[in-house]
Amino acid sequence: MDALFRRLSFYADLGESELASLNALPHRVETYESGEEIVSRGEDPGEAFVVSSGWAARYISLEDGRSQILNFMLPGDVYDLQVFVTNGADHSVIALNKVAVLEIKRRDILSLFTEGGRTGAAFWWCTLQEEAILREHIVRNGRRSARERVAHILLELHRRAVIAGEGAGETFHMPVSQAMLADALGLSFVHINRVLREFEKTGVIERAKAHITIVDRKRLVEMCDFQEDYLHLDDNPRRLGFNF
C-alpha cells in the first residue's frame, strides 16, 4: 500500500492511523510482465486494483485493429473501484512494463465506504482525479493540435511520475512506445515521432531510451497552455473525509 499512501499524502496529511487502515485492507499482490493483460474486456474481475509499481494502460480496441488508450496508470493509481456495481469490464488493461498490482475484493472495498472514514474518502478522491484526467484527455484529443497534444501529455506524465515517486527533477522514465503514445493521442506513430524529434531538435526535451528530460519547461508549457490544476493537486484538503 506504500505507493497508494505516498500518493494520498500529496492530497492531505495522513497519519499512522490511515496508513494502518490501508495496510489492514485484505489484498493480494499480482505481477504482470510488459504486454500482459491485467484485465480483459468482458471479464468480471470482481476486484478493485491499486498499481503498486510499474505502468499500465486502459484501452479499447475496435474490430479493425485501431485502438485507443483511455489513460495511463502509474504507481498509486486506483481503478475499477466501482466494481461493486459492475460485472463486466468494457475495456482492457495492459501492463506497459513489469507491473505489480494489489487486488482488493469488492466486499472489502465496500466495507471501507460504509465505514465512512478518511480512508474510504481517500479512495474516492483517487477516482475523482482519474475522471478529471479523463476529461482533460478528451479536450486534449478533441481540440488540440498534434504538437500541443504531445507537449501536454509529456507534462502530465512527468508530473504524475514525480507524484508517484519516480523521476528526479525534470527527468523521468516513460515506458511508453511511440505507437502507444499515438494510440493515446489519436495520432499516427509516424507523426508522434516527427513531433518528438522536433521537440528534441529545438532543445525542448531530451530523450535517452525510455527516459524523457524536460529541458525547456517554459516553452513546453506555453506551447500547449498547460494548466495543471486539472490534476487537483492543491485543492482544499478538507475534502479528504466525507464532508456534509
Member of 7, 137, 158, 160 binding a copy of itself (CB under 8 A): 137
How many residues bind to a copy of itself according to rule CB under 8 A? Answer: 53
CB of 40 to DNA, least distance (A): 19
What does the DSSP 8-state code read for residue 159? H
Rounded Cα distance between 3 and 218, Å, is 30
Rounded Cα distance between 97 and 32, Å, is 8
By CB under 8 A, residue 235 contacts a copy of itself: yes
Selection from DNA, a copy of itself, none that 209 binds (CB < 5 to 8 A by kind) is DNA
What strand order describes the sheet that includes 92-95?
Answer: 37-39, 92-95, 56-61, 67-73
Member of 19, 100, 132, 179 binding a copy of itself (CB under 8 A): 132
Contacts with 2 (C-beta within 8 Å, 6 or more apart), sequence order: 52
Contact 182, 150 (CB under 8 A): no
Member of 128, 168, 190, 233 binding a copy of itself (CB under 8 A): 128
Rounded Cα distance between 103 and 22, Å, is 13
Work out the number of other CB atoms within 10 angstroms of the CB of residue 180: 21
Closer residue to DNA, CB minimum distance, 12 or 153:
153
CB of 204 to DNA, least distance (A): 14
By CB under 7 A, residue 56 contacts DNA: no
By CB under 8 A, residue 142 contacts a copy of itself: yes
Contact 103, 49 (CB under 8 A): yes
CB of 126 to a copy of itself, least distance (A): 10
How would you class 181 by CB atoms within 10 Å of its CB: exposed for 0-12, middle for 13-18, buried for 19 or more? buried
Member of 188, 221, 228, 239 binding DNA (CB under 7 A): 188
How many residues bind to DNA according to rule CB under 7 A? Answer: 19
Looking at residues 25 to 64 of the shown chain, list those that interact with a copy of itself (rule: CB under 8 A).
60, 62-64
Contacts with 56 (C-beta within 8 Å, 6 or more apart), sequence order: 32, 38, 72, 73, 93, 94, 95, 96, 99, 101
* Contact footprint for a copy of itself (CB under 8 A): 60, 62-64, 66-68, 70, 82, 84-88, 90-91, 106-107, 110, 113-114, 116, 121, 124-125, 127-128, 131-132, 134-139, 141-144, 185-186, 225, 229-230, 232, 235-236, 238-240, 242-244
